[in-house]
Amino acid sequence: MSDIFNLTCESASNLGGPIGTTRPLITTSHVYTKPFGTLIRAKAHAEGSVKNWPIWAEWRKSGDAWVVDCGSYIFTIKKEKVQ
């Protein structure tokens, strides 16, 4: 048995409105999901796919996933067992 790390990219460009408005929350939209053999490669792909990666963007462990919000995109990496 081995592990794969599925990287999911979601666009956050339709979330909320300008600060101070009451525009309703709109959900993120799925952009892609891509499997990787290691966590390091999945993170590197995400960081390389965003032009001008924000210096404040930090990967956080959330349950069984790693998540980062880098402004216009939200990346999630989940580890899965494969046979």
User: What pLDDT is recorded for position 41?
Assistant: 96
- pLDDT for 7 equals 96
Residue-level pLDDT at 16: 59
pLDDT tens for each residue of the chain, 83 residues long: 689 999 999 887 766 555 666 666 566 678 899 999 999 999 999 998 888 888 888 999 988 899 998 888 889 999 998 88
Q: What is the pTM of this model?
A: 0.79
Following DSSP, what letter does each residue of the chain receive, concatenated? -EEEEEEEEEE-TTS--STT--PPP---EEEEEEEESSHHHHHHHHHHHSTT--TT---EEETTEEEEE-SSEEEEEEEEEE-
What amino acid is encoded at 65 in this protein? A
pLDDT of residue 11: 86
**Dihedral sign from CA coordinates of 11, 13, 17, 20:** positive
